[in-house]
Structure 1
């Protein structure tokens, strides 16, 4: 049994992970006499490394879910890393939870800086064990507008199953990795129980599918052809996204005024980076837990969309 701390622990993905950890009943905090699980919530000052370190005393593993785009100069996460080391914690996972390479993903630029920061921490010898949890995109998003996870809210992507719409990149058919958030949470729980050393690159590959297959599955489970928009890399590289539609809502971490610009920027980044392999994540944790059965994309989406208008 080890003590685990989650920074940004009230976020959607963090709460999925908390539930997966509590279901094991192997880590602090233990269950109470009446069988209910206790989670301690602390308000901390991420600008004060000393107080952060005090809050982390006795903690074995720190998982960060800090919103990178809301952390100017990555100060909060850098201070968290420093405090983790001062407190003597063994393991750390930065706020990744997406793709592998960060090229063309301006919204994820802070993740690259944190990766470099962690590399420098260990450049003269192992100081902190860490992994970059990378599950690709959440398969749950292809169920939008229906919520299939307990906490993670629906998020419409460029593969709109409800509207029977999709997008392809001319002369490219890049691979995307889709993993349910439930599978991610289960793998994180397995990783915390794992006695060996964490791999630095923590790929979690639920499903590897090219864009053409995503659309093919969509047309099959939705019972009809999709309207397809074609984009080309040259347009994407100069910041142009020629789509006949855009999602009505974005991620809840952005307000409505930011949403339209952020969504377009995100789509351009995702599509352009996909041609460079950013969303074809590795299977490092699949190899560590070969008996784990991941949710399969076609069966999952068939169940989600069966009988839906």
Structure 2
């Protein structure tokens, strides 16, 4: 059986989405998953969906050692990184993984550059911390290993934070939690299934961790172009990202930009869906480029998240293809994956809530 290595794969967001999709694939996926991690601890969601470790193995590694990584990749066909090192080593880790994959004879490699398209990694300053030099290094070795970037736009799951602005504390015991996770193929009902491990980092004023739209409190902060037109946005749910990545494993060839799109719509359509589903008239703050630039200039040098959200809004206003608006490459290559659209997402989780 071929083996996928997933550095950072114990994460409750992208790691869980990909592992759960591989295990849940029908008919059964031929792929085994090796999860690379600094720790051997098995997360509860993984215990639930692979209790006997039939499909997955965790191998502890030192991400700053090519030798350690190469030893862990000795039997691996494809390496797809989902690491998120916030200590300044993210780019170094990706290059180390590439060199280790080359040394181990792996056939495919995808660095951890999830999110906007390739132009986003060039145009958005706060994204460069995790991308410097990586793709240039991949290009140098394109005759030795097939490399690709997986891009999904913005996570649809930020809308979930706006549905559940104050997530309830879990009172379930471990046995009940495992049963619920197993039934949900790795996800608990309610807030976990809606947010899918995405951290509450969004900047909306009521501080639920949502971005752009807060359904529960009926608020929105939306960028608009100088000509008064609403810009577009591509949004994809984490679970659909996992399904597309899983489907891509069996493709005979990868493209360099493996973009996917759960839904592409305008900010105005996003607002219209929210108001229609909640039956509320939202309090909307409309922000223009000038407003965002002033906000950005006033932020402290160490306010990374504030800078990131401001720069994201500027990117939305630019409305550029291959930046925040993605070509549906994987949609076309893997038509068996039927993604959830924004309205469907809102309807599903708002009705549950």
Q: Is TM-score (shorter-chain normalized) higher than 0.5?
A: yes
Aligned to 1:106: 125
CA distance in 2, matches of 1:152, 1:193: 26
Residue equivalent to 2:145? 128
- The whole-number CA distance in structure 1 between the counterparts of 2:352 and 2:328 is 34
TM-score (structure 1 length as normaliser): 0.84
User: Superposition pairs for residues 156-235 of structure 1, below 5 Å?
Assistant: 156-170=210-224, 171=226, 172-194=229-251, 196-235=252-291
Contact 1:92 1:129 in 2 (8 A): yes
Q: Work out whether residues 62 and 92 of structure 1, in 8 Å CA contact, stay in contact via their aligned partners in 2.
A: yes
Distance in 2, Cα, partners of 1:103 & 1:237? 18
Change over 3 Å in CA distance of 1:68–1:108 after alignment to 2? farther
Q: Relative to structure 1, is the Cα distance of residues 133 and 25 closer, same or farther in structure 2, using a 3 angstrom cutoff?
A: same
For residues 12-91 of structure 1, the aligned pairs below 5 Å read 12=12, 13-23=14-24, 24-28=28-32, 37-67=54-84, 69-72=86-89, 74-91=91-108
Structure 1 unaligned segments of length 5 or more: list them.
Answer: 243-257
Q: How many residues align?
A: 285
Q: Following TM superposition, by how much is the alpha carbon of 1:148 offset from its aligned partner in structure 2, in angstroms?
A: 2.2
**Contiguous gaps of at least 5 residues in structure 2:** 35-50, 165-190, 201-209
For residues 225-250 of structure 1, give each alpha carbon's deviation from its aligned partner in whole angstroms, at most 9, with x where no partner exists: 111112221232354399xxxxxxxx
Residue 203 (structure 2) aligns with: none
- How far, CA to CA, are the matches of 2:149 and 2:328 in structure 1? 12
Q: Which residue of 2 aligns with 1:247?
A: none
Bigger shift: residues 170-179 or 144-153: 144-153
Instruction: Tell me the residue number matched to 1:97.
Output: 114
So what's the TM-score if we normalise by structure 2?
0.74
Q: Deviations over 1:194-243 (max 9, x none)?
A: 2x21010011011001111111111111111111112221232354399x
